[in-house]
């Protein structure tokens, strides 16, 4: 039996620490809201509020990016590398520009505002109306290289 080929690129984006601090503070505030009803109610509010906020931070702040088996996998999207053109690395202001005023509403955007760098890849498939793919990443050079090497 053949062993599966490891991904050419694998990155897991996670929410910044400040978001987790805010989630903890939210839990504490819910605990304080329920404190007048007793210590047990306050502890249950603390646990429930922290769990809820933690779930939301994890769901909204996390994403996995991989280049594996001829596919670019970003979150739930699976994009064949054969449908993609040359990747362009974006730093700082250029990445922000493509997230905001240069953005095309038809583009696939897997972005995280807390990550300042990204990769933008033109979609060359004539049957796909998506003009480009924008992916926030902490290592844009490595992702672009993995895409180039895997085509």
| pLDDT score for 134 | 96
> Would you call 117 exposed, middle or buried from its count of C-beta atoms within 10 A (0-12, 13-18, 19+)?
middle
The mean pLDDT values, 10 residues at a time, for the chain of 151 residues are 75 92 97 96 97 93 90 91 93 92 93 91 92 94 92 71
**3-state secondary structure (DSSP) of residue 114:** coil
């Amino acid at each position: 039996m053949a062993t599966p080929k490891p991904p050419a690129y694998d990155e897991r984006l996670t929410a910044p620490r400040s978001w987790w601090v805010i989630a903890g503070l939210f839990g504490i505030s819910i605990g304080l809201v329920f404190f007048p009803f007793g210590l047990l109610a306050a502890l249950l509010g603390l646990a429930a509020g922290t769990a809820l906020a933690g779930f939301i931070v994890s769901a909204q702040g996390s994403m996995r990016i991989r280049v594996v088996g001829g596919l670019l996998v970003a979150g739930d999207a699976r994009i064949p590398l054969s449908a993609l053109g040359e990747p362009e690395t974006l730093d700082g202001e250029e990445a922000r520009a493509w997230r905001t005023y240069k953005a095309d509403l038809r583009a696939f955007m897997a972005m995280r505002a807390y990550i300042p760098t990204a990769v933008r890849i033109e979609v060359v498939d004539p049957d796909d109306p998506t003009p480009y793919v924008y992916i926030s990443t902490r290592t844009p050079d490595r992702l672009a290289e993995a895409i180039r090497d895997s085509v």
